[in-house]
Structure 1
């Protein structure tokens, strides 16, 4: 029964508003940014494509075919002169030669159709140690379908881009994890302890920031034995990038740690006898984590561009592994590029990956920043 005072006011206890968790608040602010939300979905699609690259690839990326060298992209169609079709198809490409210059001439045979079959059996691959052969789409009756053409060895460009995206993103994420781990630890230790520790640590950081990277990569690739595997080169490449790129983050975290060690709650923890490890883990680290997360999202596109640049120069990922930058290495010849422009297709995927991660990082930064106006 409702109880009231003599004045007639309602004395029932009103429920206290529920406090919103910090992660929920960040997510709510992040969702307001439409561009960042779209970028997050595209990022998830890129990661899915990278993980299940073999499923999405209609051809084995390492399979060479001397009959399909430098085939142009085939257009996906639903209708032609023979009528409309509910099933997508492509026309097979006929290769002829100019009788004077002997340059190859390509044209589609519009009298034939190669239908796409979805979730069909194709070349065999392995996922988590399980051998499977199901693919998203393949050509009917084993016919080749090259939506982005082929390269100089007759390998399908689209399938190589899918696998190259996986290698490039794998390298970027692993290097980012190494940089974030080392940079956060070194930055917090330098800023919190100060004194001689800060002095010597910052000299090491300055040395890493001043170290010339490109000559190091060139020299390392030069001294590697010819018999070394491409996997060992990838591991070495990851370690070199991770060992050089943590310094900038360490300097940023050091500045924040210097300010945090003088705030009241840290001084109170010191006054009650809390250990340095407890103060760092429970007070310093949580307050710099938002900056670390934002820097991590911006570091991934930076690593993608670095890998693409170095692999384009031939000092990054080595065959038989494939990356987006290594694929661009085949298009560095102006004569080849002028005749076969579809070899530049990896550039589109590099741009998409960089823009997506940058947009998501900007949205995350605005969502974490308490002074951001949204």
Structure 2
């Protein structure tokens, strides 16, 4: 029988986690998605440092300023190696008061790495003023992805929005995991009336249209709550909606496992209900649960984006992808500043890579593949 070169063991002797890792790494799309997902996580953790500026700095004279292209070599006057962007000439229409921009190639704005810029607090704890990239002049702003209607840097706002939107997805899935595993496990393990009651509750929640349910629960959040309170409230709301699918999956697996010989042996050995479930039944399909959770994160991100876009979720001054997309409700803004739709591109990419990773984990963990 052949042996794996990585371990030197026969296939029957290789731990399951090694087999799962091998299968996962063979899926190039899943590996690519995992790398992009790691990038999103790093952006979420170090958003203050990675952003060129802070998300709340505005310049009324730069309303809907277009993106500035980053240059690396200047050959107009000799050979000058270094990063820079061209400034814009701003003209205001006297009738519509709209700004029009033209690239001013006579004015260069030097750009550097690890530059001193706007002060911020890393993770709300450590005072810092260094940014990965930005204008070398402290009083100058650069707009790599353009500006919004208030003259705020879109790149900085999208980067900061990554933390909120991704963390809501992960936190919401964590709460949904607890509800889904507990209620689904109880329903499948005990059966009878307990199963009937829990299944009727699940069917009731799944029968309610999603948008009206979101609107009703969001309307219950007091309008005078602060940003942090609203953040946790939205997370709880999404968790209360998103646990039903996982509960159904866990129930089905428990129904099929509770009559297995190893479960019966554990009961006869004197194991209590909690030990039978936690030590014997759940580990038998942990990989499937992980795959289900990975695929549930995109739902949470889309739900938060939809709620915030409709004005029912997070609101200013909180910065999330959904909050940023509120500006895309204005057709005038989209027509004259299409870069306001860039948060939607971030949502799309995040949802795609999470689905790629979830599909890869599910295929890798399939014991019959």
Relative to the length of structure 2, the TM-score reads: 0.92
Task: Mark the runs of 5 or more structure 1 residues left unpaired by the alignment.
Answer: 1-14
Alpha-carbon distance change, 257 to 83 in structure 1, aligned in 2, over 3 angstroms: farther
Number of the residue aligned with 1:133: 129
Number of the residue aligned with 1:282: 279
Number of the residue aligned with 2:169: 172
Number of the residue aligned with 2:47: 53
SS at match of 2:89: strand
d(CA) in 1 for partners of 2:273, 2:143:
60
What are the within-5 Å matches in structure 2 for residues 63-212 of structure 1? 63-79=57-73, 81-82=76-77, 84-98=79-93, 103-128=98-123, 129-142=125-138, 143-212=140-209
CA RMSD of aligned residues (A): 1.9
Larger radius of gyration: 1
Give the drift of 1:127: 2.4
What are the within-5 Å matches in structure 2 for residues 269-308 of structure 1? 269-308=266-305
User: Residue 78 of structure 1 contacts residue 84 of structure 1 at CA under 8 Å; is this kept in 2?
Assistant: no
Alpha-carbon distance change, 146 to 251 in structure 1, aligned in 2, over 3 angstroms: same
Q: Which moved more, 1:224-233 or 1:44-53?
A: 224-233
SS at match of 2:329: coil
Give the drift of 1:222: 4.1
Q: Which moved more, 1:308-317 or 1:46-55?
A: 308-317
Number of the residue aligned with 2:4: none
SS at match of 2:14: coil
Aligned residues: 358
Task: Mark the runs of 5 or more structure 2 residues left unpaired by the alignment.
Answer: 1-7
d(CA) in 2 for partners of 1:85, 1:98:
36
d(CA) in 2 for partners of 1:355, 1:304:
12
Alpha-carbon distance change, 271 to 100 in structure 1, aligned in 2, over 3 angstroms: closer
Alpha-carbon distance change, 16 to 370 in structure 1, aligned in 2, over 3 angstroms: closer
**CA distances 1:132-189 after superposition (whole Å, capped 9, x unpaired):** 1111012021221100111111110000000111100010000000111110111111
Relative to the length of structure 1, the TM-score reads: 0.91
Alpha-carbon distance change, 318 to 358 in structure 1, aligned in 2, over 3 angstroms: same
d(CA) in 2 for partners of 1:158, 1:194:
52
User: Residue 53 of structure 2 contacts residue 131 of structure 2 at CA under 8 Å; is this kept in 1?
Assistant: no
User: Residue 217 of structure 2 contacts residue 237 of structure 2 at CA under 8 Å; is this kept in 1?
Assistant: no
Q: Which moved more, 1:183-192 or 1:120-129?
A: 120-129
SS at match of 1:70: coil
User: Residue 188 of structure 1 contacts residue 284 of structure 1 at CA under 8 Å; is this kept in 2?
Assistant: no
d(CA) in 1 for partners of 2:217, 2:274:
38
